[in-house]
Amino acid sequence: MRGYTLLELLVVLVLLSLVTGLIMPRLTTLYESAVRAYQLQDVLQQIAGLGYQAYQQGKSYRLGAPKPPDQTDSLSLTLPEDWQVSAEPAIEYYANGVCTGGIITLQHATFSQQWQLNPPLCQPSAYVAQ
C-alpha cells in the first residue's frame, strides 16, 4: 500500500503549527510597518504640493505656525490618525508658490523624523538624522 502513516501526518501538522506560531506575530508587525511607510509617503506628497496650493489660492500661508482665529481657509494638509507635522521656525508659503524652506518634524505615535525642505519649491528632499 502507498500513502502516509498517521504518525507522519501528525509530525507534519506539528511542524506546520510551530512554523505558523513563529510567523504570525511578525506578520502583524510587517503590516503595521507597511501602513506606516505608506502614510509617511502620503504626508510627504501632501507637503510637496503645499506650494502649488498656495499658488492656486493666491494667498500666503505658514506651516508650523498657529492659525489666527479669524482665518478659516488654510493649506489643505490631511494627516492620518496619530500624525503631527511641526516646523520651527514656521515655513512661509507665498502666493506665488515659493516657500522659505526649513526643517519639518513628522511625528507618529511610534517614531519621529525630520525632513529638509529646500527653497524655493520646498520638496521634502532629505531625511535629517536626529
Per residue in 56-100, pLDDT (tens digit) is 999 999 988 666 655 555 677 889 999 999 998 899 999 999 999
- The verdict on whether omega for the bond into residue 120 sits within 30 degrees of 0, i.e. cis, is yes
Amino acid 68: pLDDT: 61
**Residue 112 in contact with residue 105, Cβ under 8 Å?**
yes
pLDDT at residue 79 in the model: 92
DSSP three-state, residue 75: coil
At 39 the three-state DSSP class reads: helix
- Look at 93 and 128; give whichever has higher pLDDT: 93
Question: What pLDDT digit, counting tens, does each position of 16-31 carry?
Answer: 999 988 888 888 889 9
Q: Give this prediction's pTM.
A: 0.75
